[in-house]
Chain A
Amino acid sequence: MYLAQVIKNDDVKSDFYINIFEDIVKNHDSSFKVLVDDAILEAINVAKGTADIYSINNNRYFLVTTLLERFKFRLTELNSSQNIPDEVYPEILNLLK
């Protein structure tokens, strides 16, 4: 085999999420903000043990699980009943990059 794998799906998802987060950081009212906020809230709930890993939504599975794996400590500091603080988005953007 000349190449092991042409497309690494997770890299690709990461690339698209980078786009979305860059957009949110630049324009605070990005049309994707709702989608991303839902994913962050879901990750917060799982990180704090108020939601089960098994219940993670498949539509945003990569983002939620990436946050859980690499951002868990920070997630536990966030409050799922309040808006996501603005500084969180650049932090996640750096993480994805």
Chain B
Amino acid sequence: MDYKTIELNLCQLEESFAKSRSNIYSDFRKEEHFQELYALFQKIKENDYQKFDEQEILNHNYLLNVIFKSLEYLDNSTLNVTPYEIISCLEFALNDWIKDDDFIIVTSLSNKKTDFYLETTLSEESFELLNQFINNKYGLKISKKLIQISLPKILSRDYLSSVVLYHELGHFVDNQLNISKKMLLKKYSINQPNDDETSRYLNHTMEYFADLFAAQYVNNSSNTYLGYIAPEHPDSQTHPATRSRINVSLDFLNSKSIEIVDEFNKLLHLSSLPLLEIRHSKIDISYCNLTKLYPQNFEDVSELHYIFQLGWDIWEDAENNFLKEFSSRQRYNIVNNLIEKSISNYVVQKNWEDANE
């Protein structure tokens, strides 16, 4: 890699900024973030990068890639069909684990049916390192980190499958807080997997954590969906068998003592982090508003998370319950609409009360 790499990146970024500058952000923090990225880009451009040594080229190449990635996220986040409802639920859950006002959540809709994920441009450590570097070199600072939440375009209003995002949020939290990696380090004294066995161990640990993370909030509904899309999948290099994933979550939900949950909680305790525990409150289906065809009211956020389990319970029993006279398409739409409006009403009501204070 030499200075021409930097030059090429700068030329491409110039194009990227030319397009992104016309974006209109409803969130002023995104506009500020954009301006910070642009200021950094200008400083690098004005610098005599032809004289950079090898290390400076590597560092600047990384910086330019971070700017590219951030613009990519920002471009997607001007989305005019943002699924606020599911994002609100995820924000409530994220707030239990990472109280970080430095995050800006951006959303993108993918054409792929399985594209559920959360991704960030920077880990906490990288964010600090990057800021130290640019502050030293250019006297600048990037004040926010972006989290991109991606979900499939066709499923952006499918609240039954949205439970996957709680699992993905679990991966994100795990990754940010190095939970599974610490377990790998403890067991194998390595900080990255180096063979099939260690790679399998890390992957499986990550999947169990994400499953348990989701179960805290959405009860068993993440596993219910798993049962539809990956029934009886055997153990693989990347994932534990579906059956054992479901069993671990069920044992956790039934408050049975399980080795992996105990180990996670030991780690979380020593890391001064919240423990894996039930973070939802059950709503009795026989008294819920959904069965009377209007949105559910929630006492608090722990009931809010339970709406997904409630939705699954109603949809799975639709042939026998109040939905039985409706067509299958209507049943699916009614459940999704009522979940969406239940979440939306809770958030609007809460924001309204906050605005009154």
Contacts and interface: CB of A to CB of B under 8 A. Distances in A.
B189 A69 contact: yes
B129 A54 contact: no
Interface in B242-276: 266-267, 270-272
A60 B130 CA distance: 13
Lowest 9 A-B CB distances belong to which pairs?
A65-B191, A54-B270, A16-B129, A54-B267, A55-B270, A53-B186, A12-B62, A61-B178, A15-B58
Interface string A16-44: 11111010000000001000000000000
Interface in B9-41: none
A56 B271 CA distance: 7
A22 B271 CA distance: 31
A9 B66 CA distance: 11
B81 interface: no
Nearest to B133: A16
A19 B186 contact: no
Given A54-B266, A58-B177, A69-B190, A13 B132 contact: no
A7 B125 contact: no
B200 interface: no
B47 interface: no
B172 to A, nearest CB: 13
Q: Is the interface of B mostly helix, strand, loop or mixed?
A: helix
Contacts of B114: none
B320 interface: no
A91 interface: no
Interface string B70-114: 000000000000000000000000000000000000000000000
B182 interface: yes
Nearest to A67: B191
B129 A13 contact: yes
B112 to A, nearest CB: 14
A61 B270 contact: no
Interface string B117-133: 00000011110111011
Contacts of B62: 7, 12, 15
B142 to A, nearest CB: 14
A65 B186 CA distance: 10
Nearest to B187: A53
